[in-house]
Chain A
Amino acid sequence: MTRTLLVTGGGGVGKTTVAAAIGVRAARSGLRTLVVTVDPARRLASALGVEELGNEPQPHAEEPNLWAAMLDATASWRAVAMRHAEPDVAARLADNEFFRAASEHFPASQSYAAADQAATFVQAKAWDLVVVDTPPSGGGIDFFTAPAQMADLVGGRLLRWITGGPLPGRRVFFNLAARPMLRIADTILGSDLLERVAEFLLDLRTTYDGVSRRGREIEGVLRSASILVVTTSDPAPVREAIKFYRELPGLASIPVAVLFNRILPPNWADATAPAGTSAALEANLARWSAETVRQRDTREEFSSRYGAHIATIRWSSAPPTDLGGLAGLLDQADGLPWAELGLAATGS
């Protein structure tokens, strides 16, 4: 059976590094492990053994049991719609300006593509563990809501709004161009833009059955996955992390833990400088002590308010960017629920 671990959270919290570290650790404990990531830092990507975007998992040259894939989200979203389109529709979509725009700019498209691809890897049953570094869009929440949003986009709701009534066939639609509303729209837009959009949506709608069926499959995979929320102690990512406790019921399991990355040594909270310390060093300790207190208060509030399991990783001046460093990162972690992550407590 393939276990799925979704490592999620806002941007800039070290999510990708944590996902990679868990992947390396799992691989070293003998699990066939795939790490799926979107847009990692270059050094991290090369540590994982992937240099180029692509949806084909690459086996790691030095680390047996480890595979990695760096998703090209735009390409995969396009592939999804194409997969469910009849050949003539697919051909029209392929060079449609709105389709390109929708696949590049639709807010959930990157998340949808990543979710779809991750689900494909899980369903392939080729790995013991699939670790997914989710796209940061919407603080990671978009990853879970994307299948429904995508079905909504292709489902014709938008089309009904344009035509203002029941869904027309292609032929009927052109007669509707005489509607006053479309005339007003054309005055503002100065062209037949709305009509062209409607045409595109008609084409897209033919993929609805396929896309919504696939959406339900993806949602099933996401619901049965374990979730690890990564955050720092800063207010913005903490706000994103809270969403996983407030907004996700039904779409996902309760996160196995919130991992606070880059925490300062807890004993600094009440540390004082001994007599004879220089003023500069004393002031330095005082400010980092204040920072430690702030971090601790943030964690305690999160735990008491949301009943979340809290785990931590110590701050380090330079995050690991090679295999050895990644494998060692989790040694500095406290409180990680190893079993629920699918890992043995004493790995590597």
Chain B
Amino acid sequence: MGRGRGQTRPPHPVGRPGLTTPMLDKRLILISGKGGVGKSAVAAGLALLGQRRGLRVLAMEMDSPGGLSAHFGTGPLEFEPREVRPGLHAMQMVRSDALLEYLALQLNIKGMSRLGALARAFDALATTAPGIREIITIGKAVWEVREDRWDVVIADAPPTGQIGSFLRAPVTISELVPTGRIRTQADFMSETLKDPKLTELILMCLPEELPVTETEETMRWLAKEDLVTKPRVIANRVLEELTDPDTPPGPVGEAAALHRSWWQEQQHWLDRLPPDHSLPYLYGLFTPGEVAAHMADELEAFA
């Protein structure tokens, strides 16, 4: 708020060539996936990795509160970004706050009191009109990309079941609103989301029936709609092959049998939807913080 951001400022120049590998060279990384596949853990891991590499990172919890903040171990996040590690800020998307910020910037109104009534009216609109709620959320992420404060914005995005209406929001708005400022902004958002130099969409997946089916459906839909850059699929909790074929009696053999049959089941789904990258199963890790740190280590290889 009040950082003098203007809608006419051109997009930030792209990346820092040579410093990072491609994924973290993008300015906006959206991480989606079916609920429970490790979306937040990977978002947190990517953010930590970016921070380790010296990037100025904004991690944004776009969906339900708690996932990302648990991985940073910082307690509940707020709308105003907070520095959770040196160089790494984290925030929670709060629609009403984003709306106020948007209106303040749009209308150039300093006093919040005058904005109250208007913001409430818009909030009613956001609850009812298609695309408005979503565009405020996705719009906040896209606008932060323009900020000089961040090298990369990493969003723990809504799950695949809902990501479509968020990605489609700029188009929905364009269909609903023929002219006006919000329309212009919607067009700008569309361009950002479609620009492969700026935006990365990651679909997290588990090698299991429902997540694979849902990921496939999402990819088909995305290919048809052409709203965003081509997504990258990351399979999570992938077991490595157990090469020793022996099955002695007792827990040793039981654990071996379990591992092999689970591995085999996973192979079936990995064959059906070959991922761009795989992340290993993390055994026995307990705190979300430990999980995020390990994710960062693993992501090092390809992010």
Contact = CB atoms under 8 A, between A and B. Distances in A.
Contact of A188 (B106, B210, B253): B106
Contacts of B262: 317
Main secondary structure of the interface of B (DSSP, over half): helix
B19 interface: no
Contacts of A234: 36
B259 A288 contact: yes
B107 A184 contact: yes
B180 A191 contact: yes
Contacts of A271: 250-252, 255
Interface string B97-109: 0000001001100
Contacts of B66: 239
A161 B122 CA distance: 8
Contacts of A288: 255, 258-259, 283
Contact of A136 (B35, B181, B255): B35
Nearest to A271: B251
Interface stretch (A52-60, A82-90, A97-105, A335-343): A97-105
Interface size class of B (residues with CB under 8 A): 35 or more
A161 B177 contact: no
Interface string A176-189: 00000110111111
Contact of A106 (B40, B127, B253): B127
B121 A185 contact: yes
Contacts of B261: 317-318
B85 interface: no
Contacts of B291: 235
Interface stretch (A10-18, A207-215, A220-228): A10-18
A201 to B, nearest CB: 7
Nearest to B37: A12
B113 interface: no
Interface in A35-64: 41-43
A249 interface: no
A164 B117 contact: yes
A317 B123 contact: no
A281 B121 contact: no
B252 A282 contact: yes
Interface string B250-284: 11111110110110110000000000000000011
Given A237-B36, A277-B252, A294-B284, A153 B125 contact: no
B67 A236 contact: yes
A11 B35 contact: yes
B113 to A, nearest CB: 13
B182 A280 contact: no
A126 interface: no
B178 A201 contact: no
Interface of B: 34-38, 40, 64, 66-67, 70, 103, 106-107, 117-118, 120-125, 127-131, 133-134, 159, 165, 176-183, 206, 208-211, 213, 242-244, 246, 248, 250-256, 258-259, 261-262, 264-265, 283-286, 288, 291
11 contacts: A41-B213, A98-B129, A153-B127, A157-B124, A188-B107, A191-B176, A201-B128, A280-B242, A280-B243, A281-B256, A284-B256
Interface pairs A-B: 6 shortest CB-CB: A190-B180, A290-B284, A101-B130, A11-B35, A12-B36, A158-B124
